[in-house]
Amino acid sequence: MELAHARSGDKGDTANVGLIALKPEYYPILVKQVTAARVARHFKGMIKGTVERYELPNLHALNFLLHGALDGGGTISLKTDAQGKVFSTALLRLEVEVAR
Amino acid sequence: MRARGPRRVRIAGGQGFWGDWLEAPYRQVNGGPVDYLMMDYLAEVTMSILQKQKARDPLLGYAKDFIPLMERILPILVDRHIKVTANAGGVNPRACAQAVAEVARRLGLGGKVRIGVVSGDDLLTHLDGLLAHGHALKNLDTGRPLSDVRDRVLSANAYLGARPVVEALRGGADIVITGRVTDTGLTLAPLIHAFGWSADDWDLLAAGTVAGHTIECGAQCSGGNCLVDWERIPDLANVGYPIVEAAPDGTFEITKHPGTGGRISVAGVTEQLVYEMGNPAEYITPDGIADFTTIRLEQTGKDRVRVSGVRGRPATDQLKVSVAYFYGYKAVGTLVYAWPDAYKKAQAADRILRQRLADLGLTFEAVVTEFVGADATHGRLARASAPLDELPEVQLRVGVRSPDKAPVERFTREIAPLILNGPPSVTGFAGGRPKPEEIVAYWPALLDKHIVEPCVELVDV
C-alpha cells in the first residue's frame, strides 16, 4: 500500500527528499515511522554524511536532507544522478508497518 | 461609481533554467492574458562560462538565447503590455540590453520599449579588495576561506533580491535584464511593484517569495516531473507552464492557460514546494525569510491551486554570494554489454579497466563505477531486488576525477580498447572517445549587504 509520493533535489553535496503523504491521514504514520535514523539506515552505504529531518505538517510532508549523497554534487560529481533527482523514489522503496 | 481596487496580477513562468523548453515563453505570452513573464537563465556555474566569453569579447557575457527569444516575442509584449523580468544579463547586463535594443529597433519598435538594466552583483574585480578588508567569503559547506582557491576563481556574484528590479519597474522599464538576482526575486519584484508592498511587509514578501519558488522551475509545478498519478497527466507534449495570479493581500493562485496540457494540483504544487529545500521554516532570501511551514494549499478549481497563510520574518543583513572556481578535470566513459550475463560482463570490464589504470600508476581523486540498468539510480537498494542475471543489457559507466589533466586524458583512451580486448557482447561506443572536461565548481559564501551596491539603469529604445 502506497503511503507517499516524493520529489528530490540538491543543495551542493546534499540531496533533499520531500516526502509527501498521499492522504492527510497518512501523515502521522510517516512522522512516526520515517525518522531520520530510519532513513539513515535505509541509505546506509549510499550516503557519506548524516540525515536531517524537517516537518511540514501544513503540507503533510517531511523534508529530509541527505548529506554527502552526491559525490560532491553539481559539476564535481561523477554520478549519473549528480543532482539527486531520483533519490525521491529511492526513499519510496522504504517499507513501514501500518497498524490496522 | 464604485472604486476599483488593484486588480490581480498574472506572472507567467517562462523558463525554469537555461536549456528549458524554447516554446514555453512564446506560448505563455500568446496563450492568454499575462502581465509579466519571468525567466531564469543562470545555473550555479553559468557565470563562469559567461566570464570566459566576456574575456574573449567585451560585448559578450550574457545569455545569448535571450536575443532570438526577444526577436520572436517583443512585438507581442509591446502589443499586450507584457513586462519581462529575466536574469539573462549574466556578467554583462548592459551588453544584453544593447542587443535587445538593437532587435527592438530592427522590429520598428523604437520609442516603445524601455529596458531596465540591473547590475552591481558582479564582485570579480572587487574580490582582492574584499579579502584584504577581512571578508573571508568562507565556503558555507566546508568553512574554508576563499583564499584557499583565490587563484582559481572564475566568477563571483552576489545574489541581489527584488529591490533593484522593483526600482527598474518603477522607472518604467518594460524589460528588466539583470545579472545574478534570486529566482524568487524575479517574481516577487512585479508583485511589490504592482501592489506597493513595503520593504518590511515581511508576510507579503514571504508570500511573493513562495510564489517565486513555485514557478521558478517552470512546468515542474504544472505537471512536469510530477510523481502522483503521472501516467494520467494529460498532454504533457503541450504542457502549460505555470502562472501566478496574485492578489494584493499576498494570496495567490497557481494556474495555467486554458487548452494546455499538464495538471495543477495540490500534490504537484507540494512536490515543487519541497524541491531544493533546506530548513523549510527558514527560506532565506535577500528580501526576507519565508516560513514554508505556514503555507496553506487548496484546490480551487481544475488546474487551479490557491496558496495562502504565508508568514515571513525580517531579512538577514547578508547576501549569498556564488563564486565559481576551477576545480580540476573529469571524464566519463561508457560501454554497453548485452545478454547473456550482461551484468557480469560489465563488472568484469570494470575490474579489467581499474587493473589497467593501476598498472599504469595512475591515481585519481575519485573513480566511480555505475551499472546503468542495474544500480546507477538506487545503488544497493535496487540491486537487492533487480533480476541481475537476466538483464537484457547493462551500460558500464566509469567516471574519473583529478586535479590534473594527464591521468584523466589517459583514462579516456582506456575505454575503446575494451571493445576488442575485454569481455564479449559489447557495443554502444559509437560516440567516440570521451573528452576530459574542465570542472568549474561552486563556492557559496556570505557577504554583508551594505558592501554590495546594486545599480539600476534605464535604456530607451
pLDDT at residue B4 above 50? no
Tell me the nearest-neighbour CA distance from A82 into chain B, angstroms.
Answer: 10
Instruction: Let me know: does B77 contact B84? Beta carbons within 8 Å.
Output: yes
Order the strands of the B283-285 sheet from edge to edge: B283-285, B288-291, B311-313
Q: Which residue of A lies nearest to B230 if distances are taken between CA atoms? A: A5
Give tens-digit pLDDT for B274-325. Answer: 999 999 999 999 999 999 999 999 999 999 999 999 999 999 999 999 999 9
Instruction: State the average pLDDT over residues B364-389.
Output: 95
How far is A26 from chain B, CA to nearest CA, in Å? 14
**Is some CB atom of chain A closer than 8 A to the CB atom of B425?**
no
**pLDDT, mean over chain A:** 96
pLDDT at B6 > cutoff 80: no
- The proportion of chain B whose per-residue pLDDT surpasses 70, expressed as a percent, equals 99
Q: Is the pLDDT confidence value at B42 over 70?
A: yes
Whether B278 sits inside 8 A of A11 (CB atoms) is yes
The predicted structure's pLDDT at residue B3: 42
Average pLDDT over residues A82-91: 96
CA distance B392 to B386: 12
Burial state string for B350-386 with b = 16 or more CB within 10 A and e = fewer than 16: bebbeebbeeeebebbebbbbbbbbbbbbbebbeeeb
CB atoms within 10 A of CB B334: 16
B142 touching A, CB under 8 A? no
Q: Which three cell numbers stand for residue A72?
A: 560532491
Quick one: how far is CA B428 from the chain centroid?
A: 31
Question: How far is B63 from B41, CA to CA, in rounded Å?
Answer: 7
Per-residue pLDDT band for B355 (boundaries 50, 70, 90) equals: very high
B140 within 8 A of B163, measured Cβ to Cβ: no
Q: Which residues of A touch B329 (CB under 8 A)?
A: none
> Which residue from A46, A71, A65, A57 is spatially nearest to A21, judged by alpha carbons?
A57
What letter does residue B4 receive in the DSSP assignment? Answer: P
- pLDDT recorded at residue A100: 67
Give residue A93's pLDDT.
96
Helix (H) or strand (E) holding B8: none
Q: For residue range B170-190, list pLDDT tens digits in order.
A: 999 999 999 999 999 999 999
**pLDDT of A62:** 98
SS3 B298: strand
Alpha-carbon distance values, B116 to A88, B134, B205 (Å): 40, 33, 22
Over range B421-443, report the average pLDDT: 93
Lowest mean pLDDT segment, chosen from A8-17, B44-53, B180-189, B265-274: B44-53
Looking at the complex, does the CB of residue B45 fall below 8 Å from at least one CB of chain A? yes
Task: For helices B266-273 and B202-215, give the axis angle rounded to 10 degrees.
Answer: 100
Band (B109; pLDDT cuts 50, 70, 90): very high
B368 touches chain A (CB under 8 A): yes
Which one of A76, A77, A92 would you mutate to disrupt binding with B, by most B Cβ within 10 Å of its Cβ? A76
Closest approach of A67 to chain B, Cα-based (Å)? 10
Q: What is the average pLDDT across B46-66?
A: 93
pLDDT at B436 over 80: yes
Does the pLDDT value for residue B45 go beyond 90? no
CA B43 to chain CA mean position, Å = 4
Measured between beta carbons, which residues in chain B are less than 8 angstroms from residue A42? Answer: 381
- Shortest alpha-carbon distance between residue B90 and chain A (Å): 19
The answer to whether residue B144 neighbours chain A at the CB level (below 8 Å) is no
DSSP-derived letter for residue B149 is: G
Give residue B305's pLDDT. Answer: 98
Residue contact A74–B377, C-beta within 8 A: no
Q: Which three cell numbers stand for residue B175?
A: 524589460
Query: Which residues in chain B are contacts of A60 at CB distance < 8 A?
Result: 270
Whether the predicted pLDDT of B2 surpasses 60: no
The chain A residue lying nearest B44, using CA atoms, is A74
Exposure pattern of B91-104 as b/e (b: 16+ CB <10 Å)?
Answer: bbbbbbbbbbbebb
CA atoms within 13 A on the CB side of B122: 23
Instruction: Report pTM.
Output: 0.96
Residues of B in contact with A83 (CB under 8 A): none
Summarize the confidence of residues A26-36 as an average pLDDT.
97
pLDDT at position A37 is 98
Which residues of chain A have a CB within 8 Å of the CB of B278?
11, 16, 65
Contacts of B400 in chain A (CB under 8 A): 78
What's the Cα-to-Cα distance from B207 to each of A62, B34, B50, B168, rounded to whole Å? Answer: 21, 20, 32, 21
Closest B-chain CA to A3: B228
CA distance A69 to chain B (A): 12
CB B420 within 8 A of CB B335: no
- Which three cell numbers mark A93? 522503496
pLDDT score of B1 more than 60: no
Lowest mean pLDDT among A29-38, B21-30, B42-51, B156-165: B42-51
Q: How far is CA B142 from CA B325, B351, B363, B443, B444, in A?
A: 15, 33, 24, 9, 10
Average pLDDT over residues B146-170: 97
B182-220: pLDDT as tens digits: 999 999 999 999 999 999 999 999 999 999 999 999 999
Classify B45 as helix, strand or coil.
coil
Percent of chain B with pLDDT over 90: 95
Q: Look at B274 and A79 and tell me if their CB atoms are within 8 Å.
A: no
Q: Is B143 on the interface with A (CB under 8 A)?
A: no
Q: What is the mean pLDDT of residues A6-34?
A: 97
Burial of B40-61, coded b for 16+ CB within 10 Å and e otherwise, reads: bbbebbbbbbbbebbeeeeebb
